[in-house]
């Protein structure tokens, strides 16, 4: 067992700001990728020097102020576990290399986004300028095998492992397209996943999705936002769903695109010291609607809370994750990196986020339904929806929605909840009478769950699209082959 250090590093307890000043290469982050990426620390092989260095840093800076006795005679993993803090973590050099790649959304592979439908794994999207795009892999391709090994029964995680590997190595990928098997030899290389995507939805409403706060996210958002503005942007839907966080500085940069002057958040350390995180930027003359869900975390919550507190935008979706603590990355002199929780943050109006989350102004569940709700809140009225092989496209925005529609014979059925949202109605269900009620203004339509025009499978309810078009003026539909199109105006 390593000898216990008798006093904290530098012989005194310092503030969080002292930590930041002392360690030139330390980066203050909201690191929430641990929500989605699991790394098991290799602390068992840590040296005595590393153990002592980690102990001193935890005593000196961790938000919970652990004392010397609480960390005594413990290895690194034991010390970290004793804190009951899922965000404090030790990385060896190899783990840190992998983790930092995730922070910047880079990996070595072929460059595809996968989706699952009815037990089969398809290509949902192909990353631009990736190895997959260069050989002709297309969205909608069914993944069949790699290097002759069938993907039958494999999960997306299993397939991901097969497709990733060392840079410069080759994988022989087999896909099925329109019933024909195609084989491609693809050379793996480093791929950067774009974190910003945009669309003009219609009627001057822009859509900007931000998936991660990488070091370049602020610049990317600014560039894409200016492109939307040149195309006549009148209001914006900012999609932060499934964004687990990232760099605080990136969140500051993005906030500065919408708030001229103020505080992004109040950062409080273990001594109660409040360090306001300032914003200095510009305001914009249009409304912003922010999409959030249960995987909107940390820096995303920080930004969402600030935009709402300053009256810039309303939140649509479901309650956010509730990660309101800040970590610092500290490179150790003895090797490795310590990620340690040092502060808790509150919104500009002082609202707590940690383990609470943000409740949206308009609560809507379902990915497509949320986008429709945000679009309408931003002033939109014209919807164009198409569905084919599990991919739903809503005013140009593509998403995986395998259960959004189904075809039986020559008849098409749309998910009842989605269909109701497209129609602009509200859905209620009376369990006693097994009756669905769709209400739009003074109009009220009812249908029994036992009606032949209603289909219930695997707990999901669908309705004949012809009935929606009959009931609600402005709802249209057409079908061709395996594609269903719905519209609303």
* pTM over 0.85, yes/no: no
Q: 172 lies in a domain?
A: yes
Q: 64 lies in a domain?
A: yes
Residues 256 and 390 in one domain: no
Residues 322 and 409 in one domain: no
Q: 375 lies in a domain?
A: no
Q: How many domains does the chain have?
A: 4
Residues 127 and 168 in one domain: yes
Ordered per-residue pLDDT tens for the chain, 489 residues: 232 222 222 222 334 444 433 332 333 344 433 344 444 444 545 688 888 999 999 999 999 999 888 888 889 889 999 999 999 999 988 888 888 887 788 889 999 988 777 788 988 889 989 999 999 999 889 999 999 999 999 988 899 889 999 999 999 999 999 889 999 999 999 998 889 999 999 999 999 999 999 999 999 999 999 999 999 999 999 999 999 999 999 999 999 999 999 999 999 999 999 999 999 999 999 999 999 999 999 999 999 999 999 999 999 999 999 999 999 999 999 889 999 999 999 999 999 999 999 999 999 999 999 999 999 999 999 999 999 988 899 999 998 888 899 999 999 999 999 999 999 999 999 999 999 999 999 999 999 999 999 999 988 999 999 999 999 999 999 999 999 999 998
Q: How many CB atoms lie within 10 A of CB 275?
A: 17
pLDDT at residue 365 in the model? 94
Answer with the one of 103, 131, 166 that is the final residue of a domain: 103
How far apart, in whole angstroms, are the C-alpha atoms of residue 201 and residue 395? 5
CATH number at residue 119: 2.30.42.10
CATH number at residue 304: 3.90.226.10
Residues 42 and 132 in one domain: no
Residues 205 and 117 in one domain: no
Residues 388 and 435 in one domain: yes
Residues 220 and 352 in one domain: yes
Residues 355 and 236 in one domain: yes
Q: Are strands 426-430 and 435-440 parallel, antiparallel or unpaired?
A: antiparallel
pLDDT at residue 440 in the model? 97
Instruction: Name 383's bridge partners.
Output: 488
Q: 71 lies in a domain?
A: yes
pLDDT at residue 148 in the model? 95
Q: 447 lies in a domain?
A: yes
Answer with the one of 167, 192, 217 that is the final residue of a domain: 192
pLDDT at residue 448 in the model? 98
Just list the catalytic residues.
298, 309, 323
Residues 150 and 209 in one domain: no
Domain that holds residue 25: 9-103
CB environment 362-400: b (16+ within 10 A), e (fewer): eebebbbbbbbbbbbbbebeebbbbbeebbbbbbebebb
CA dist list (Å): 225 to 209, 254, 256, 445: 11, 10, 13, 41
Please give, one letter per residue, the 3-state secondary structure of the chain: CCCCCCCCHHHCCCCHHHHHHHCCCCEEEECCHHHCCCCCCCHHHCCHHHHHHHHHHHHHHCCCCCCHHHHCCCCHHHHHHHCCCCCCEEECHHHHHHHHHHHCCEEEECCEEEEEECCEEEEEEECCCCHHHHHCCCCCCEEEEECCEECCCCCHHHHHHHHCCCCCCEEEEEEEECCEEEEEEEECEEEECCCEEEEEEECCEEEEEECCECCCHHHHHHHHHHHHHHCCCCEEEEECCCCCCEEHHHHHHHHCCCCCEEEEEEEECCCCCEEEEEEECCCCCCEEEEEECCCCCCHHHHHHHHHHHCCCEEEEECCCCCCCEEEEEEECCCCCEEEEEEEEEECCCCCECCCCCCCCCEECCCHHHHHHHHHHHCCCCCEEEEEECCEEEECCEEEECCCCEEEECCEEEEEHHHHHHHHCCEEEEECCCCEEEEEECCEEEEEECCCCCEEEECCEEEEEHHHHHHHCCCCEEEEECCEEEEEEC
Residues 215 and 142 in one domain: no
Q: 55 lies in a domain?
A: yes
pLDDT at residue 455 in the model? 96
How far apart, in whole angstroms, are the C-alpha atoms of residue 297 and residue 35? 9
Q: 310 lies in a domain?
A: yes
Task: Give the up-direction half-sphere exposure of residue 484: CA atoms within 13 A in the CB hemisphere.
Answer: 26
Residues 229 and 350 in one domain: yes
Q: 1 lies in a domain?
A: no
Residue 36 Ramachandran class (φ > 0 left, ψ -120 to 50 alpha, else beta): alpha
How far apart, in whole angstroms, are the C-alpha atoms of residue 14 and residue 22? 10
Residues 58 and 112 in one domain: no
Answer with the one of 192, 214, 236 that is the final residue of a domain: 192
């Amino acid at each position: 067992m390593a000898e216990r250090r008798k006093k904290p590093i530098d012989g005194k307890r310092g503030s969080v700001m002292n930590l930041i000043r002392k360690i030139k290469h330390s980066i203050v982050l909201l690191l929430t990728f641990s929500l989605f990426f699991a790394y098991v620390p290799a602390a068992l092989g840590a040296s005595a020097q590393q153990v002592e260095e980690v102990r001193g840093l935890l005593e000196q800076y961790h938000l919970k102020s652990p004392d010397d006795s609480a960390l005594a005679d413990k290895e690194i993993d034991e010390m970290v576990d004793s804190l009951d803090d899922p965000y404090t973590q030790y990385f060896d050099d190899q783990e840190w290399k992998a983790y930092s790649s995730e922070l910047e959304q880079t990996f070595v592979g072929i460059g595809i986004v996968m989706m699952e439908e009815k037990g089969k794994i398809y290509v949902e999207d192909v990353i631009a300028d990736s190895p997959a795009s260069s050989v002709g892999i297309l969205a909608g391709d069914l993944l069949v095998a790699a290097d002759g090994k069938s993907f039958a029964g494999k999960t997306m995680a299993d397939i991901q492992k097969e497709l990733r590997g060392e840079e410069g190595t080759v994988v022989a990928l087999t896909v099925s397209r329109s019933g024909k098997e195609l084989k491609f030899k693809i050379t793996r290389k480093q791929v950067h996943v774009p974190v910003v995507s945009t669309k003009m939805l219609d009627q001057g409403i822009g859509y900007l999705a931000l998936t991660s706060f990488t070091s370049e996210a602020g610049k990317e958002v600014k560039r894409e936002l200016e492109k939307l503005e040149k195309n006549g942007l009148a209001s914006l839907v900012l999609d932060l769903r499934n964004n687990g966080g990232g760099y605080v500085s990136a969140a500051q940069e993005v906030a500065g695109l919408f708030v001229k002057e103020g505080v992004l958040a109040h950062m409080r350390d273990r001594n109660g010291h409040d360090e306001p995180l300032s914003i200095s930027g510009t305001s914009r003359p249009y409304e912003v609607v922010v999409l959030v869900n249960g995987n909107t975390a940390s820096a995303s919550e920080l930004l969402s809370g600030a935009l709402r507190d300053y009256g810039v935008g309303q939140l649509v979706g479901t309650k956010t994750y509730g990660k309101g603590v800040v970590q610092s990355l500290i490179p150790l002199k003895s090797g490795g990196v310590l990620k340690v929780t040092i502060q808790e943050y509150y919104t500009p109006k002082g609202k707590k986020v940690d383990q609470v989350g943000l409740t949206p102004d308009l609560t809507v569940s379902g990915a497509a339904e949320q986008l429709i709700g945000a679009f309408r809140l931003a002033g939109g009225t014209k919807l164009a929806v198409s569905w084919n092989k599990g991919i739903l496209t809503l005013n140009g925005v593509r998403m995986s929605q395998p259960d959004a529609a189904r075809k039986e014979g020559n008849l098409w059925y749309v998910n009842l909840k989605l269909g109701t949202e497209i129609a602009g109605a509200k859905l209620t269900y009376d369990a006693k009478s097994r009756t669905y009620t769709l209400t739009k203004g003074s109009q009220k339509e009812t249908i029994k769950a036992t009606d032949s025009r209603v289909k219930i499978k695997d707990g999901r309810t669908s309705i004949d699209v012809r009935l929606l078009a009959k009931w609600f003026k402005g709802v249209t539909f057409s079908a061709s082959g395996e594609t269903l199109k719905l519209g609303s105006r």
